[in-house]
Chain A
Amino acid sequence: MDKKPTVAILSLTCCEGCQVAIFDLGERFLEFLTKVNIGDFRLAEELPDVKKYDIAIVEGTAITKEQLRRLKIVRKKSKILIALGACACVGGPQEIKDYRGNKNQLIRIVYPNVRGIDNPNIKSVKELVKVDFEIPGCPINKEEFFRIINELIAGKKPIIEQKPVCEECIRKNKMCFLLLGKPCLGAITLAGCGAICPANNFPCDGCRGPRKGIKLEAMKRALKFKAHMRDDEIEMVMERFGEKNEYIKASKKI
């Protein structure tokens, strides 16, 4: 891109923690802002919207009809659309309800008055519009984001290497959580986070979604026999970020 690219940072329904992670780049984010034109960035401005975006960064999932309408408009306006974070990439925790039986009963637990509250099945952004690039994680790894966005602005095609979290894990071999009987999803999860959870004594919970060509059945067997989990417990772990359907897809693409 020759001139300053126009970048929009938008959010649908989510915790907005991925935008916060971008803010957390601090001084580097301030410098980044000088290299681009801001198309839309509601967290920091309220200027009138522009007609076209070179890059739209979208976090969250479209739950309300208005958000779905807006997502489709954003897609039309954008040359490149990036899905940011677990919600946008795999559905996020809000997708748990789709795996838990009757969502129309579930909503009544929370709301006495359900009229006018949208309760659709949760879809990741790529299930609704074409996505050019995905930056996974809950939250995103801000360093990875910074690399990717700079590569895109420089006209390069960024790549997230297809390898498991285990390859980045300081606990691999002797201290492996799975071997110690803990429910760790590192083996089937896409690396790029620096295995930050296992480094903090927390088993990988798969927030970045699956890498391609996983052996799902082998993972399930390991959870069953190493971590002594029942089938329903395994299912629950795999749906935390809405990624369960993605695991099934990823295990077919070998």
Chain B
Amino acid sequence: MKIRIDHIAKIEGHASFTADIIRGDVKGARIKIEDGARLFEGILRGRKDEELPEIVSRICGVCPVVHNLTAHKALEKAYGIQLDETSIILRKLMMLGQLINSHALHLFFFSLADFFGYKSDLQLINAYPEKTHDAVKIRDIGNRIVEAIGGRSVHPVTPVLGGFRKAPDSAKLKELLTDCKKIMPLVLRLGDLFNQLKYPAFHRETTFVSLTNSEEYAVYGGKVKAGKLIFGPKEFLSLVKEFQGPDMVAKRTKFAGNTYMVGALARLHNNFEKLNPEAKKLLVKSGLEFPCYNPFYNILAQAIELLHCFEESITLLELLTIGEVKISEPKIENRTGEGIDAIEAPRGTLFYDVKVKDGIIRDLNIVTPTVQNIANLEADLEEFEHIEGFKGLKKEERIDRIKMLIRAYDPCVTCSVH
């Protein structure tokens, strides 16, 4: 029997799924990417370094901040530029804003309907009007944080090599701080909602990969933790093999020959001790124990992170609103080198490797979270008949369950085709 799902809805970008079931066993589970090749890694060769962050933002409209900032970080590493403390705080806040708006979108508008069997968010909105308004308000805070600092929520414009072009308006930051505190009870409620959902049982062991940082729950930077091992971003990337077969417009990766998972569940797994208090409380309440090899819990992990990001935003906004925010834009002497760096995008670790000579890009490699996750997702899908209760389901319900697993990964197809 062949299973085919055309145009999986409620994910970012276009993909379909095919697999064969031979004597009850799944064979050849494959995510087929339906987006066209845009060749970002090719078109940037020969262009100026300062164009890199601007153009790569356009890889993804859901997570432009992370492409913009990782491109900046890689260039700054290549040139040996150090950022001042204020710039780092501003960038961290942009990251938190990005995580908040992306997680809120995925949690409420992409994932939640699956748990109630709704085929459209309109049904969800009608059934839960109050919760919908909560989700919209929460997401809006994320947008406003990015907008206040980045100048625009989709494709921000203020970050520059070594700092920022423009300081955020202090009054806007104060307003955001007040609103973050005001919205916090809504985030707690949303966290409880996701904690009460019933996640289908499923188990397949994998390696969880994320950044890790002794100072904090790693979002903006750190070392790479893969299972029990810790690497620098450059060292880790040298152990990752990208591969691509015919008809594959998105590459796949393996680490030391195996598939691995990045994203909220991986981050939580590697760094849960660093969560802020309310997020930690929700984690304890959820009873989630690590290792947890059930990708459906990536959804709950995002809800826990959403809470963490709000708490963290409040802390950083409090720091920024003590005095005036002063920004700097350093003079850059050297514009030759290679830089490899990483960030925690909403969907997992994002790597940039850039080689520059006299300010002109010579080579660029981008490894996105979804490129890293697809092979792991396909390996999970090879065992989808082991999803709890799968055998008793009708064909339509089985397809719904498969889609639910795919959506739990929050794949960003757009990012995967760069």
Contacts and interface: CB of A to CB of B under 8 A. Distances in A.
Interface of A: 11-21, 23-24, 26-27, 30, 33, 38, 42-47, 61-64, 66-67, 92-94, 96-97, 100, 103, 106-107, 109-113, 115-119, 138-139, 196-197, 199-202, 205, 233, 236, 240
B125 A202 contact: no
B200 interface: no
A44 B265 CA distance: 24
Contacts of A45: 9-10, 119-122
Nearest to B118: A45
Given A63-B37, A112-B244, A115-B246, A21 B151 contact: no
B155 A139 contact: yes
A38 B122 contact: yes
A38 B37 contact: no
B42 A196 contact: no
Nearest to B242: A112
A111 B151 contact: no
Interface in B10-40: 10, 12-14, 34-40
B193 to A, nearest CB: 18
Interface magnitude class on chain B = 35 or more
A200 B13 contact: no
Given A46-B120, A47-B120, A139 B154 contact: yes
Contacts of A233: 48
Contact of A200 (B10, B152, B248): B152
B9 A46 contact: yes
A213 B380 CA distance: 56
Given A43-B10, A110-B39, A202-B158, A27 B121 contact: no
Contacts of A103: 39
B119 A46 contact: yes
Contacts of A20: 61-62, 105, 154
A19 B61 contact: yes
B10 A44 contact: yes
Interface in B254-303: none
Given A20-B61, A30-B132, A43-B9, A13 B35 contact: yes
Contact of B60 (A15, A46, A115, A196): A15
Given A42-B9, A45-B121, A115-B247, A21 B154 contact: yes
A34 to B, nearest CB: 9
Interface stretch (B51-59, B85-93, B214-222, B228-236): B51-59
Contacts of A200: 151-152, 157-158, 165-166
A200 B146 CA distance: 13
Given A24-B154, A33-B125, A117-B249, A64 B42 contact: no
Contact of B46 (A94, A100, A110, A201): A100
Contacts of B246: 113, 115-116
Interface stretch (B136-144, B176-184, B203-211, B384-392): B136-144
B84 interface: no
A138 B139 contact: no
Interface in B359-418: 414, 417
Contacts of A115: 246-247
Interface in B53-75: 54-55, 58-62, 64
B155 A113 contact: no
B248 A113 contact: yes
B42 A106 contact: yes
13 contacts: A23-B109, A23-B139, A42-B9, A45-B10, A45-B120, A62-B36, A100-B43, A110-B42, A115-B247, A118-B36, A197-B157, A202-B165, A236-B48
B45 A109 contact: yes
A100 B12 CA distance: 29
A138 B10 contact: no
A138 B417 CA distance: 19
A46 B113 CA distance: 11
A43 B111 CA distance: 11
Given A44-B121, A110-B42, A200-B158, A16 B10 contact: no
A233 B165 CA distance: 22
Interface string B151-171: 111110110000001100000
A33 B152 contact: no
B7 interface: yes
Contact of B143 (A24, A107, A109, A202): A24
B155 A63 contact: no
Nearest to A200: B151
Given A93-B40, A113-B245, A30 B136 contact: yes
Nearest to B249: A117
B347 to A, nearest CB: 14
A9 to B, nearest CB: 12
Contacts of B133: 27, 30
Nearest to A68: B36
From A21, A64, A110, A201, residue with most partner B Cβ within 10 Å: A110
B41 interface: yes
Contacts of B125: 30, 33
Nearest to B246: A115
A27 B136 contact: yes
Nearest to B150: A200
A17 B137 CA distance: 19
5 shortest interchain CB distances as A-B pairs: A63-B36, A17-B61, A200-B151, A45-B120, A116-B247
Given A15-B414, A23-B105, A46-B119, A94 B61 contact: no
Contact of A110 (B9, B34, B37): B37
From B36, B244, B246, residue with most partner A Cβ within 10 Å: B36
